[in-house]
Amino acid sequence: MKSYTALTQRFARLAALEEATGLLHWDMSAMMPPGGAGARSEQLAALKRVRHDLIADSAVAELLDEAETETGLDSWQRANLCEMRRQWNHETALDGALVEALSKACSASEMVWREARPRSDYQAARPHLEAVLCLVREAASAKAARLGCSPYDALLDEYEPDGRAARIDPVFDAYAAFLPDFLEAVLSRQGARGPALALDGPFPLEAQRALAASFMAALGFDFAHGRLDESLHPFCGGVPEDVRITTRYDDADFSRGLMGVLHETGHALYERGLPAAWRRQPVGRARGMSVHESQSLLVEMQVCRSRAFFTFAAPRIRAAFGREGQAWSAENLHRHYSRVERGFIRVDADEVSYPAHVILRYRLERALIAGDLAPADLPGAWADGLKALLGIVPPDDRRGCLQDIHWYDGAWGYFPTYTLGAMTAAQVFAAAHKSLDGLDLQIASGEFAPLVAWLGREVHGRASLLDTDALLVAATGSPLDPEVFQRHLANRYLS
């Protein structure tokens, strides 16, 4: 096992460099003054180039070949070696110059996007998006040749190991066909009940921050190993020992910031639950973004938008904002947080319409990568696609193709994992209900530890030991079954 051991040392150094890169990205989003953008671009590019050169060293290829012939590796070590090979394939498909150029282009594009988005100025952002897209296409082609798949699938594989569009298409097409009639039925039922009682603001930001932190703590977030900050786009970053969550607040609507925090707390609990014994090894990482998104959406959608959760949450929300009355009852709060509507903004969408936002982005990014859609035509294609899926047209680009950071920051192939994650979350939570007696009562009383412990055993602690299908089979008894998600929606919104 000499070669395998040498690889573990090499990949531990690679992981440390990646962690440093991640914290620089967090700082750029949450703390860095605008004047630091140029220097940060150089820092990130340099770190990514160093990491690339370290893994592209010819010695790594030799060690991988030798380690794959070594005997005596257990299941974790064998899975670790498999993940090392996967990372090596992705990294070495690109040359160092492309890695560095792509990093700089993404940093520049992201900073322009930050200024263009509030102004709804797509024309200012477009040249940088075009530069990123050109380099992403080059990287996708190189990786496709290495992996033996299409360019888009090569990008998808970075976020969803072994993910392929051929498997996603029928799942998304089925949901797109299911959505119109189901959405109409939900809206009709909702309309017959009448509107929920209004929650009058404003809601002071300090009170929102304190409330969010209190719910994070209740769910099990350890503030000795993490923090909550603000950014233009909510995210979870950092490392398992130092998890960084961000959200954005609105003093007219506390639900936006709070649900963003709860979503990112689900990500954080997954990171904290990864096995310490495999820290900084590929097998010790989260198993792809559909599983990661399943953990955030399980917390936000399955748990924290449930009727049981508001039995626990309502008194704390009333106390945080000094409110009383029927509008602040658990039932009325639940009605607000389970409201379904056709909206323009993905991150604010309800769980019924949310997949439509993802399907739109999935279809558009595939067309952009293939060259079937030019960036100049993106706003019009976005409007047409959203109208076809939800029957609405965004009034401006801020609420259209400028709303997400992903493409401007180089994350192509990521979007499908959100809806795959929502479907996975429904399936995992259904399995948790079967395994944990009285789970709804526990949630209603604020006892989240049993659920988090179960997730730790069934999902978090397995990290990347198993492929995604095998992980779902182990945790729930079957691979992904999209009908479980549809049954969840029917039970929540039509029963």
pLDDT at 348 over 90: no
Q: Catalytic residue among 91, 160, 264, 293, which?
A: 264
CB burial class (10 A; 0-12, 13-18, 19+) of residue 389?
buried
| Paired residues of 229 in beta bridges | 246
Please state the rounded mean pLDDT for residues 327-354: 95
What digits encode the pLDDT tens for the residues 412-456? 999 999 999 999 999 999 999 999 999 999 999 999 999 999 999
pLDDT at 302 over 90: yes
pLDDT at 468 over 90: yes
- Closest CA relative to residue 170, chosen from 314, 406, 362, 316: 362
Contact 151, 144 (CB under 8 A): yes
What confidence category does residue 17 fall into, taking pLDDT thresholds of 50, 70 and 90? very high
CB burial class (10 A; 0-12, 13-18, 19+) of residue 65?
exposed
pLDDT, mean over the chain: 96
pLDDT at 346 over 90: yes
What confidence category does residue 347 fall into, taking pLDDT thresholds of 50, 70 and 90? confident
pLDDT for the residue 103: 93
What confidence category does residue 232 fall into, taking pLDDT thresholds of 50, 70 and 90? confident
In percent, the amount of the chain with pLDDT more than 70 equals 100
* Strand pairing report for 242-247 and 226-230: parallel
Interatomic CA distance for residues 300 and 101, integer angstroms:
37
**C-beta contacts of 384-387 below 8 A and 24+ residues apart:** 385/360, 386/344, 386/356, 386/357, 386/360
What digits encode the pLDDT tens for the residues 169-196? 999 999 999 999 999 999 999 999 999 9
What digits encode the pLDDT tens for the residues 89-134? 999 999 999 999 999 999 999 999 999 999 999 999 999 999 999 9
> Catalytic site residue 365?
no
Interatomic CA distance for residues 118 and 397, integer angstroms:
10
Note the pTM of the prediction, 2 decimals: 0.94
Dihedral pair phi/psi, residue 167, rounded to 5° = -85, -30
The number of CA neighbours under 13 Å toward the Cβ of 18 is 20
